[in-house]
């Protein structure tokens, strides 16, 4: 069996400038801090980050934002991190952040569409608003829907409550949030694990993310 257990720095070694990265979590609950810290140390730039929110100032995705590593942020909520607005409105062009806000349900389903191989989803959310600008509107049985395209990434950084040495992963409680969706929508999946166990220790019916999706496992997550 391939050894997937790596140090955090080894796990993020392949991430280069300009990468598109999904980061699991909801207000830093379920966000893999060991992987975020390693990405901050690597100091790659011009990243596109897809996540539910911008974390908190200097914490979670907010750590990458403060470090000047994010060029484009695709998220559903940024209100708890005032540094987003500061970066969006800066007069220094090379520091300016592009922030694309996506309704939370739409964000989840666009990620799910990528993970299941769908060409997109139809949703009434955003019809008649600025959310619809530049998007195709379809009328079905008299009701208008937006065609929202799949969201996929080069890498997904997710947090597992329990992960076995093959990568089979369980998420406890609300840490599940976006993690299992993102694990299916990226080319490379890196897991920050709270606990690493032997293969077979997790009952198959308890597995949320299959180890076939997981490329690297990093211990030490809290």
Concatenating the DSSP letter of every residue in 86-140 gives: HHHT-S-GGGPPEEEE--HHHHHHHHHHHHHT-S-EEE-TTTTSGGGTTS-EEEE
Whole-angstrom Cα distance, residue 193 to residue 190?
A: 9
Q: Are strands 47-51 and 20-23 parallel, antiparallel or unpaired?
A: parallel
**pTM (2 d.p.):** 0.95
Beta strand extents in the chain (DSSP E only)? 20-23, 47-51, 70-75, 98-101, 121-123, 137-140, 143-148, 153-164, 169-170, 186-197, 214-218
Q: What is the pLDDT of residue 95?
A: 84
Task: Give ∠ CA 9-12-18 in degrees, rounded to 5.
Answer: 135
- pLDDT value, residue 87: 92
- pLDDT value of position 93: 83
Spatial CA neighbour of 214 closest among 151, 158, 176: 158
pLDDT 10s digit of each residue in the chain, 222 long? 789 999 999 999 999 999 999 999 999 999 999 999 999 999 999 999 999 999 999 999 999 999 999 999 999 999 999 999 999 998 888 889 999 999 999 999 999 999 999 999 999 999 999 999 999 999 999 999 999 999 999 999 999 999 999 999 999 999 999 999 999 999 999 999 999 999 999 999 999 999 999 999 999 998
Residue 1's pLDDT is what? 74
The pLDDT of residue 94 is 82
pLDDT for res 222: 85
* CATH architecture of the region 8-119+149-218: 3-Layer(aba) Sandwich (3.40)
8 Å CB contact between 91 and 117: no
């Amino acid at each position: 069996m391939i050894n997937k257990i790596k140090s955090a720095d080894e796990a993020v070694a392949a991430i280069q400038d300009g990468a598109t990265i999904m980061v699991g979590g909801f207000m830093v609950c379920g966000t893999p801090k060991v992987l975020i810290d390693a990405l901050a140390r690597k100091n790659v730039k011009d990243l596109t980050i897809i996540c539910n929110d911008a974390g908190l100032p200097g914490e979670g995705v907010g750590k990458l934002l403060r470090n000047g590593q994010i060029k484009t942020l695709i998220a559903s909520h940024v209100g708890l991190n005032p540094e987003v607005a500061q970066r969006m409105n800066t007069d220094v062009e090379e520091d300016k952040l592009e922030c694309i806000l996506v309704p939370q349900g739409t964000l989840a389903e666009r990620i799910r569409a990528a993970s299941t191989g769908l060409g997109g989803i139809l949703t009434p959310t955003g019809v008649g608003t600025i959310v619809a600008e530049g998007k195709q509107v379809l009328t079905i049985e008299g009701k208008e829907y937006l065609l929202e395209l799949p969201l996929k990434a080069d890498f997904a950084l997710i947090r597992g409550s329990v992960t076995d040495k093959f990568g089979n992963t369980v998420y406890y409680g609300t840490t599940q949030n976006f993690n299992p969706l993102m694990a299916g929508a990226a080319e490379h999946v890196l897991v920050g694990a709270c606990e690493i166990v032997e293969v077979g220790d997790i009952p198959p019916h308890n597995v949320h993310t299959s180890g076939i999706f997981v490329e690297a496992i990093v211990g030490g997550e809290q």
